[in-house]
């Protein structure tokens, strides 16, 4: 096994032409004798077709890239699983890459699509910069964005009303008797950060409450650690700036908020109720279990995959937008005891 057997070797071994060998293996018109001869030779040599050569000839790797900012967020894992499930049937391999937090890395990835990194791209970017928007538009393969593009560009999008998600959380807290609702947001230069802030303000307005910036904290990332640090700041400012609830912009921030509250002797949900967003497994399993607004991560992944498959089949389709509706799941962190 000094070197992989090629189709040429198989053909020679079977005593037929390369063209016939290809047909026999791939299923073109070939006699039964030819098929069995070639199959035998292929098995004997341990022949495995070269995907690179096939891609070059056929024009198209059967690979789709899924790009995500933080692979450690279970939110994206749910999307990933749904997408993978949708593609395995179609014989498409999914290539997951974490773009990290640097725009540079994201741009490199998007541009690499033009050099044949895959036949399509599903991307869920936290930050949509003008450069990224331009890069996405210049991509030669179809792209589906999970999130928002801020502007009307000719790209398929699966979106969710992120602001509404926060409004639902605020409404739930108001309905369960909370009166001073703090807000633990993620970075404002991200799409979720910006729209969730809008939702927070809208939610307060709907309840006839006036916003108070002294109970609003902006974490520098959507992570547990960032949530911890920002929550500590919120607690420090009490009791002069008091609150009886925290709306966190995602589940990881909510976990950071709860753990910091408890460590500081602030009872959850007795003194402070906490809500998250994403409805990850993390939220359901935490102690106390965390009330969270589902923004349909699995559903969004599924839809993104289908949009891409449809575009593969029909490339001239007009760009489409698919919206998923958020829904709140009440749990112990807002005083709702779990049913059986």
Partner DNA sequence: ACCCGATTTGAGAACGTTCTCAACCTTGAC
Partner DNA sequence: GTCAAGGTTGAGAACGTTCTCAAATCGGGT
Interface residues toward DNA, by CB under 7 A: 4, 6-8, 16-20, 22-26, 28-31, 33-34, 47, 49-50, 53-54, 56-59
Residue with tokens 């890459």: 97
User: With binding defined as CB under 8 A, does residue 319 bind a copy of itself?
Assistant: no
Tell me how far, at minimum, the Cβ of 4 lies from a copy of itself, in Å.
6
Taking the complex as a whole, the smallest distance from the CB of residue 263 to DNA amounts, in Å, to 56
Q: Decide if residue 256 touches a copy of itself (CB under 8 A).
A: yes
User: Minimum distance from CB of 112 to DNA (Å)?
Assistant: 13
The separation between the first and the last C-alpha atoms of the chain, rounded to the nearest angstrom, is: 60
Instruction: Tell me whether residue 53 or residue 205 sits nearer to DNA (CB atom).
Output: 53
SS (H, E, C) 121-154: EEEECCCCCHHHHHHHHHCCCCEEEECCCCCCCC
Residue 318 interacting entry, from DNA, a copy of itself, none, C-beta within 5 to 8 Å by type: none
- The C-alpha atoms of residue 299 and residue 86 are separated, in whole angstroms, by 11
Pairing state of beta strands 63-68 and 93-98? Answer: parallel
Q: Indicate whether 44 belongs to the interface with a copy of itself (CB under 8 A).
A: no
- Using the minimum distance from each CB to DNA, give the nearer residue, 30 or 136: 30
Minimal distance in Å, beta carbon 261 to a copy of itself?
10
**Angle, alpha carbons 122-112-156 (nearest 5°):** 30
**Residue 258 in the binding site for a copy of itself (CB under 8 A):** yes
- Give the Cβ contact number of residue 87 at 10 Å: 21
Please answer whether residues 274 and 246 qualify as being in contact, where contact means their C-beta atoms are separated by less than 8 angstroms.
yes
Which residue in 49, 44, 17 sits closest to 30, CA to CA? 17
What whole-number distance in Å separates Cα of residue 142 and Cα of residue 156? 8
Question: Which stretch of DSSP H or E encloses residue 102?
Answer: none
Query: By three-state DSSP, how is residue 323 classified?
Result: strand
Of 216, 224, 264, 225, the C-alpha closest to 243 is: 216
Token digits of residue 42: 């292929």
Binding mask 149-188 for a copy of itself (x = CB under 8 A): ----------------------------------------
Report whether 243 contacts 254 (CB < 8 A): no
Query: Which listed option, DNA, a copy of itself, none, makes contact with residue 98 (CB within 5 to 8 Å by class)?
Result: a copy of itself
Contacting residue, 6, 22, 97, 129, with a copy of itself by CB under 8 A: 97
Q: Which of 239, 285, 314, 315 binds a copy of itself (CB under 8 A)?
A: 285
Least Å distance between CB 210 and a copy of itself?
33
d(CA 274, CA 292) in angstroms, rounded, equals: 9
| 204 forms part of the interface with a copy of itself (CB under 8 A) | no
Find the helix or strand (DSSP H, E) in which 21 lies.
helix 18-26
298 binds a copy of itself (CB under 8 A): no
Q: Among 19, 26, 48, 90, which residue interacts with a copy of itself (rule: CB under 8 A)?
A: 48
Return the number of the residue (25 or 215) whose C-beta is nearest DNA: 25
Confirm if 203 and 178 have CB atoms less than 8 A apart. no
Question: Which partner in a copy of itself, DNA, none is near 194 (CB below 5 to 8 A by kind)?
Answer: none
Look at residue 202 and give its three-state secondary structure. helix
Of residues 129-148, those binding a copy of itself (CB under 8 A)? 138, 140
Among 52, 104, 188, 327, binds a copy of itself (CB under 8 A): 52
Q: Indicate whether 220 belongs to the interface with a copy of itself (CB under 8 A).
A: no
Query: Which residues bind to a copy of itself, rule: CB under 8 A?
Result: 1, 4, 46, 48-53, 55-56, 61, 71-72, 74, 77, 80-81, 84, 93-98, 111-112, 114-117, 138, 140, 224, 255-256, 258-259, 262-263, 281-282, 285-289, 338
């Amino acid at each position: 096994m000094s070197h992989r057997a090629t189709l040429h070797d198989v053909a020679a071994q079977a005593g037929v032409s390369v063209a016939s060998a290809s047909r026999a293996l791939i299923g073109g018109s070939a006699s039964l004798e030819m098929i069995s001869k070639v199959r035998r030779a292929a098995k004997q040599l341990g022949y495995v077709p070269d995907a690179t050569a096939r891609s070059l000839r056929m024009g198209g790797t059967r690979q789709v890239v899924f790009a995500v900012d933080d692979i450690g967020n279970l939110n994206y894992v749910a999307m990933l699983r749904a997408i993978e499930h949708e593609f395995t049937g179609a014989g498409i391999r999914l290539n997951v890459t974490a773009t990290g937090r640097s725009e540079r890395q994201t741009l490199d990835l998007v541009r690499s699509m033009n050099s044949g990194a895959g036949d399509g791209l599903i991307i869920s970017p936290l930050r949509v910069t003008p450069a990224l928007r331009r890069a996405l538009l210049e991509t030669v393969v179809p792209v589906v964005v999970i999130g928002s593009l801020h502007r009307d560009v000719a790209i398929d999008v699966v979106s969710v009303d992120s602001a509404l998600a926060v409004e639902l959380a605020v409404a739930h807290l108001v309905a369960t008797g909370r009166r001073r609702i703090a807000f633990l947001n993620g970075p404002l230069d991200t799409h979720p950060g910006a729209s969730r802030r809008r939702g927070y303000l809208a939610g307060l307005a709907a309840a006839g409450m006036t916003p108070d910036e002294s109970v609003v904290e902006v974490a520098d990332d959507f992570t547990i650690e960032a949530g911890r640090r920002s929550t500590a700041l919120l607690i420090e400012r009490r009791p002069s700036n008091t609150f009886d609830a925290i709306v966190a912009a995602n589940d990881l921030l909510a976990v950071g908020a709860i753990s910091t509250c408890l460590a500081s002797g602030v009872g959850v949900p007795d003194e402070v109720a906490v809500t998250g967003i994403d409805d990850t497994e993390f939220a359901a399993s935490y102690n106390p279990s965390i009330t969270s607004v589902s923004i349909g991560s699995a559903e969004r992944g599924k839809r993104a995959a289908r949009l891409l498959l449809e575009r593969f089949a029909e490339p001239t389709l007009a760009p489409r937008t698919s919206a998923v509706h958020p829904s709140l799941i009440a749990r112990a962190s807002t005083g709702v005891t779990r049913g059986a």
